[in-house]
A and B are shown apart, each in its own frame.
Chain A
Amino acid sequence: MNKPVTNILLVGVGGQGILLASEILAEAFMLAGFDVKKSEIHGMSQRGGSVVSHVRFGTEVFSPVVPEGEGDILFGFELLETYRCLSLLKPGARVVVNDFRIPPPAVLLGQETYPEGLAEKINARFSNFQLIDGLKLAAEAGDPRAANTVLLGAVAQYLDIADGVWQKALEKMVPKKALPVNLKAFQLGRSL
């Protein structure tokens, strides 16, 4: 069957585990038999800058970046960065966001304020919207650092990929020590 390309964006702040989450996604799509490409810019952005990771899968994928205005699913690790990236999405796209703020430098210095009501503003533009307390669920799974896997689980609800494939992808990409916590975090996200 010819499957058109699905465009997924993962956005947040350097250091939040976006790279790993996008690699687990890509691995799952390959294991499920699709062509997959992913891309993100690292380098300077690792020093606390904005990060946008693009993951695309389907029967045949050309560009490793999602064309502007064609994103199907956005996977937000942080509210402000999610809001900043909405123009990458197509109308009606699905947005799953961690209810979490990381103040940027000007806000830390008290020169600017962190915008209020971002979740509501995102919801107003995209009705397929889900706000998740990733940190709380990750803590429930055993480690607050697994918030990225909770989100991954939440997004997995909307992707037609079998459970066993997710399990295999997690086993391959997550360090052994952290696997049980991440498997649990994934399930908590998935059952939201």
Chain B
Amino acid sequence: MSTEILSGNEAIARGAFEAGVRVASAYPGTPSTEILENIIKYPSINASWAPNEKVALEVAIGASFGGGRAIACMKHVGVNVAADPLFTLSYTGVGGGLVLVAADDPEMHSSQNEQDSRNYAKFAKIPMLEPADSQECKEFTRLAFELSEQFDTPVMIRSCTRISHGKSIVELGEPVKGLPEPKLVKNPAKLVMLPGNARVRHPLVEERTVRLSEYGDSWSINRADYRSAAMGIICTGVTYQYVREALPEAATLKLGMVHPLPKNLIREFAAKVERLFVVEELDPFIEEQVSAMGIAVTGKEVISLCGELSPGRIREAFARAGIITKTIDAQQPAQEKLPPRPPNMCPGCPHRGVFHLLSRANAYVTGDIGCYTLGFMPPLNAMDTCVCMGASISTASGIVRALPREEQQRVVAVIGDSTFLHTGVNSLMEMAYNQAPATVIILDNRITAMTGRQENPASGYTLTGIEAPEVNIPALCRTLGIRHVRVVDPYDLEATRSVLAEEMARPEPSVVVTNRPCCLIKGEGRFDRSPVLEVDSDACTGCRACLRIGCPAIEWLPALDGPKGKASIDPQLCTGCTLCQQLCKFDAIHRAGGTK
């Protein structure tokens, strides 16, 4: 048997392949994105990007109803979008096995909140498995499909950033054989959830949860290991690894299935240890249920409700509560204040000039989720709200209704092409329908850039790189009822400024599409790097105008040429976009090599 080092996401993709999955659908979202990007290594799986998570889950539901095994993948906040079909899917059950992977992001490394997806499994009344390393990611994915078919239920797999992006050794297996061939089977009593049918299904869902809990009592993925009986810890997923590291002597009940809980197994474990703890990331999901069983348990009074755990944090928390004595003294961090290194938009990013202009125009910017959320950062400081995918347009539409006319004119929504297609279309439809007088900028860089350049319905390519019809964004906006749609090149600052000024002044809904490919798009001539720029330090007066755009390629050299200092351009980083050149009133920035 061969072994490989795989990330959790790669291992879930491998597990889907070994489980005989036919259809996979997802919307990219950190930390879940690489599952689908790796699934395309297995040509037996029909894999595609959906415009959003609700659609992705519905594609998987269709495939499952047709008798094929299907997987849908998303990040935690994506489950909010997919929640509508999920709850009814719990009632219909499945044809071929159906697995929904939700990748949580404790600590919010790249997310706007740190919701705990385990609540969704309980809320939707479906089982959830939680792997603790890449090997389990692969194994649990295969087991999830078996469980799904055995209990006629969708199954959720919960990953988290450390599992999805962590890597460990995986033993590869062979794909299962002998799965039934997909075919159409009519069964409206089970699949048409009108009230009359749904009422029949609900008691079956409740019985299923009871049967699953009993199944969990003796299922080998729920595992008790008795070391010292002084301390017993219930833990799941990556937290199990942290606990083994931080408290190696403690007895552990490692739950592979986190919903429904195996109640008899928990009672048995609790009876054998002197003191029972739950160590879990984020919510007291297990603790509350164990407590409700009448078992004395300690959890969140020791372990924080917020953020990611680590062996150090667990040890620290147990030591602070006086449960263990401190063994390792963490080193002191640097005493002096160090300049922070926040993420920044790339050199040559087509969004930078737009944010500079919005900042200069004193616009109130309702933002959205994507690279352009970084327009919030100084020196651009050009974003005032950011809630969730697609919310920028509807937020703008709402805020103008509360404002006097002169304030309305300042409201501008910014949204990327992928986010617009995700849930922005609905919001723009509303804005047009109700004639909310705000301006929407669709920052069309031809790609889903933030998550690592995934194709989308407007980019002209599919997940597997096959050419696809491109959504015509300006035409779509007009069809929705927007009368004023302008397209402008965001590298042309003056043109963009005047279009923005005109549209912001207009007492009607309007859309400005800024159209420039992301500078990280690879190949096919979709992004053309221009010759780099350089600063003529004789002409540079030290006015700092070029710094206002916050380009990582421009550095201020305070000591250069006298007291004021001068700007300098790093030729390794410059893409030649000319934004800085357009801001320079002293003609001090030229194409390298002397040509203008």
Contacts and interface: CB of A to CB of B under 8 A. Distances in A.
B311 interface: yes
Interface stretch (A105-113, A149-157, A160-168, A183-191): A105-113
Q: State the 7 A-B residue pairs at the shortest beta-carbon distance, nearest first.
A: A43-B110, A110-B556, A43-B30, A64-B166, A68-B312, A47-B343, A39-B166
B337 to A, nearest CB: 9
B246 interface: yes
A32 to B, nearest CB: 12
B10 to A, nearest CB: 12
A105 B109 contact: no
Interface stretch (B281-289, B457-465, B546-554): B546-554
Interface residues on A, range: 35 or more
Nearest to A90: B331
Given A30-B5, A108-B554, A91 B331 contact: yes
A68 B310 contact: yes
A46 B33 CA distance: 14
Given A67-B310, A115-B336, A37 B341 contact: no
Given A45-B343, A108-B552, A110-B565, 9 more contacts: A36-B167, A37-B168, A62-B311, A67-B310, A89-B331, A105-B377, A105-B378, A105-B552, A108-B556
A37 B555 CA distance: 38
Contacts of B174: none
Contacts of A84: 333-334, 338
Contact of A44 (B109, B165, B246, B558): B109
Contact of B343 (A14, A37, A91, A113): A14
Interface in B326-358: 328-334, 336, 338-346
B523 to A, nearest CB: 15
Contacts of A81: 341
Contacts of B236: none
B341 A49 contact: yes
A17 interface: no
Interface centre among B31, B334, B547, B556 (most CB of A within 10 A): B334
A62 B336 CA distance: 34
Contacts of A23: 5, 167
B109 A37 contact: no
Given A26-B167, A47-B371, A88-B331, A64 B241 contact: yes
A27 B547 contact: no
B507 interface: no
A110 B339 CA distance: 11
Interface in B45-61: none
Interface string A31-64: 0000111111111111111100000000001111
A110 B499 CA distance: 32
Contacts of B241: 62-64
Contacts of A180: none
B330 A87 contact: yes
B85 interface: no
Contacts of B330: 68-69, 87
B334 A37 contact: no
A113 B378 CA distance: 17
A80 B333 CA distance: 13
A14 B344 CA distance: 11
Contacts, number: 166
11 contacts: A40-B165, A44-B343, A48-B346, A49-B343, A62-B311, A65-B311, A69-B312, A86-B334, A108-B547, A108-B550, A110-B558
B384 to A, nearest CB: 20
B163 to A, nearest CB: 8
Interface string B273-285: 0000000000000
B471 interface: no
Contacts of A109: 378-379, 547, 550, 556
A26 B331 CA distance: 26
Interface centre among B556, B558, B565 (most CB of A within 10 A): B556
Given A63-B245, A67-B245, A86-B334, A38 B343 contact: no
Interface centre among B162, B245, B332, B341 (most CB of A within 10 A): B341
A97 to B, nearest CB: 15
A83 B333 CA distance: 9
A104 interface: yes
B344 A110 contact: no
Interface centre among B5, B332, B555 (most CB of A within 10 A): B5
Contacts of A129: none
A114 B557 CA distance: 11
Given A48-B344, A115-B336, A108 B328 contact: no
Interface string B226-247: 0000000000001001101110
Contacts of A43: 30-31, 109-110, 450-451
A149 B556 CA distance: 31
B346 A47 contact: yes
A105 B556 contact: no
Interface in B17-60: 30-31
A106 B340 contact: yes
A42 B339 CA distance: 21
Given A64-B168, A65-B311, A87 B331 contact: yes
Contacts of B259: none
Contacts of A89: 331
A63 B338 contact: no
B165 A37 contact: no
B315 interface: yes
A40 B245 CA distance: 18
A41 B165 contact: yes
Nearest to A104: B341
Given A26-B5, A105-B344, A48 B338 contact: no
A63 B5 CA distance: 15
A96 to B, nearest CB: 18
A21 interface: no
Given A67-B246, A67-B311, A38 B451 contact: no
B339 A106 contact: yes
Contact of B242 (A35, A62, A110): A62
A36 B452 CA distance: 26
A42 B246 CA distance: 25
